[in-house]
Amino acid sequence: MTGWHEQLAVPRAPFIPAVVWVDDPAGDGFVALSRDDDEPRWRALVEEDEPIITQVDDGTTRPGETGRRPSSSCSRPSLVAAMLIALDVREGHRVLEIGTGTGWNAAELSRRAGRSGHVVSVEVDPAVADDARRALAALGCAPLVVTSDGTKGYAADAPYDRVVCTASVRTIPRSWVDQTRPGGVIVAPWGTDYGDDALTRLEVREDGSAAGRCGIDLAFMRVRHQRRDFLEPTADEVNDADTTQTAHSGRELFEMVAFARAAFTIGLRVPACYLTVEDVTDDRRLIELHDVRSRSWARVTLVRGRDPWTVHQLGPRRLWNEVAAAHSWWQEAGRPTPDRYGLTVTPDGTHEVWIDAPAADRRWSLTF
């Protein structure tokens, strides 16, 4: 979004640790960047409209080592602003934040809620929570920072007017709905294992359900116990895999992996299917599908100028067939974009998705 500077009143720099993590120029992974060693580069990262990785591998990797998985970050400022606009915190509101991270967003929430409001921020990682408390205290901000599993919410200070999650989820926890007053709002990056998530805004109803619409594309880290994972078949396993060719065009394959096209719909139609895309060279792309629970895997190898392309599939599920069928459904349904979808979380926790309206013909319950 444009104009995000006007939406964010709290400075970002005091919440960014002296050591952050950046792409390893020598290969895959992440390496530490210290403000003491290169303050101009550190400062440039803070001032850009980009996320900053503040922890890798749940804190087990130290500076000087190569990190493999980002596990905490300070989000892109424009996305922080977009989520705050969707959340619409007012003076006096009681707010629950899931995922304290650096504490920057909690400071923004506290400013909006004001002295008559109350902000609780829950962080699963003790070291991250401690750093956030120190940064918040240094700026005179006083939200309650709780070290706990955020998917359980924080019942002691419920009910809340607003709940916001700064990590992505595939399911909206019942606890968040139960701890939000009727008429209150929940905002979270919500989506499936397939592709990016959507900025989703739900309103809690008197009957204990919550419903609302999906929105813009978000790429956030998953809450820890819902993380997506992938399979790495050996060369022998790939050689023994079922092999076919796909008649899909390059345009159709692009639709299958693009959030704004078919990818969001495919994720809603194909459960437990994690999508990864790797551009090996300028002329060679790998589209892979993973279901670690059933040990199923598929790969489409795209080589420029050499179509039709080869498909390999392993395991009891034929993931490529499922994805291809979901793409056909998307076409027949009129190519719905993500912002046409809505989500209803029923009192028993069922997640129902729908296109355009809750009572529409095209609606179904998700499986996870």
In tens, the pLDDT along 48-82 reads: 999 999 999 999 999 999 999 999 999 999 999 99
pLDDT interval class at 360 (50, 70, 90): confident
Average pLDDT on 307-326 reads 97
Q: Which pair of structure tokens corresponds to residue 255?
A: 């639709």
> In angstroms, how far is the first alpha carbon of the chain from the final one?
32
- Order of all β-strands in the sheet with 30-34: 30-34, 19-23, 52-56, 70-74
Q: In the CATH scheme, what is the code of domain 235-330?
A: 3.30.160
> CA-to-CA distance for 100 and 120, rounded, in angstroms?
9
Share of the chain above pLDDT 90, in %: 95
**The pLDDT of residue 134 is above 70:** yes
Average pLDDT on 333-357 reads 97
Task: Please tell me what DSSP assigns to residue 223.
Answer: P
> CA-to-CA distance for 306 and 145, rounded, in angstroms?
55
Q: Which pair of structure tokens corresponds to residue 214?
A: 């999906």
Using alpha carbons only, give the angle 67, 71, 75 rounded to the nearest 5 degrees.
115
Q: How many beta carbons lie within 10 A of that of residue 229, not counting itself?
A: 11
Confidence (pLDDT) at 27: 84
Q: How many beta carbons lie within 10 A of that of residue 357, not counting itself?
A: 11
What is the chain's alpha carbon radius of gyration, rounded to the nearest angstrom? 21
Average pLDDT on 273-291 reads 96
Q: Where in the chain is the domain with CATH 3.40.50.150?
A: 77-226
Confidence (pLDDT) at 158: 98
> CA-to-CA distance for 196 and 259, rounded, in angstroms?
6
> CA-to-CA distance for 352 and 346, rounded, in angstroms?
8
Active site includes 75?
A: yes
Q: How many beta carbons lie within 10 A of that of residue 11, not counting itself?
A: 12
User: Per the residue annotation, which of 71, 72, 75, 175 is the catalytic one?
Assistant: 75
| pTM of the entire predicted model | 0.96
pLDDT interval class at 4 (50, 70, 90): confident
Q: Which pair of structure tokens corresponds to residue 197?
A: 């998530």
- Given the candidates 3.40.50.150, 3.30.56.10, 3.20.20.370, 3.40.50.10800, the CATH classification of the domain at 77-226 is 3.40.50.150
Question: CB of 50 within 8 A of CB of 76?
Answer: yes
Q: How many beta carbons lie within 10 A of that of residue 253, not counting itself?
A: 19
> CA-to-CA distance for 136 and 144, rounded, in angstroms?
10
Confidence (pLDDT) at 1: 58
Cis amide prior to 338 (ω within 30 degrees)? no
| DSSP string of 2-23, one letter each residue | --HHHH--S-SGGGS-SEEEEE
CA distances from 186 to 153, 200, 204 (A): 12, 8, 8
Confidence (pLDDT) at 5: 78
> CA-to-CA distance for 27 and 314, rounded, in angstroms?
28
> CA-to-CA distance for 203 and 199, rounded, in angstroms?
14
Q: What is the pLDDT of residues 12-32, one digit of tens each?
A: 999 999 999 999 998 889 999
**The pLDDT of residue 2 is above 70:** no
Q: What is the pLDDT of residues 93-129, one digit of tens each?
A: 999 999 999 999 999 999 999 999 999 999 999 999 9
Which residues are within 8 A (CB) of 60 and not within 5 positions of it... i.e. 6 or more apart? none
Residue 41 Cα to chain centre, angstroms: 27
Share of the chain above pLDDT 70, in %: 99
Amino acid at 292: V
Q: How many helices (H) and strands (E) does the chain have?
A: 10, 20
> CA-to-CA distance for 90 and 87, rounded, in angstroms?
9
Q: What is the pLDDT of residues 187-208, one digit of tens each?
A: 999 999 999 999 999 999 999 9
Among residues 229, 285, 230, 228, the alpha carbon closest in space to that of 253 is found at: 285
Q: Where in the chain is the domain with CATH 3.30.160?
A: 235-330
DSSP reduced 3-state for 242: strand
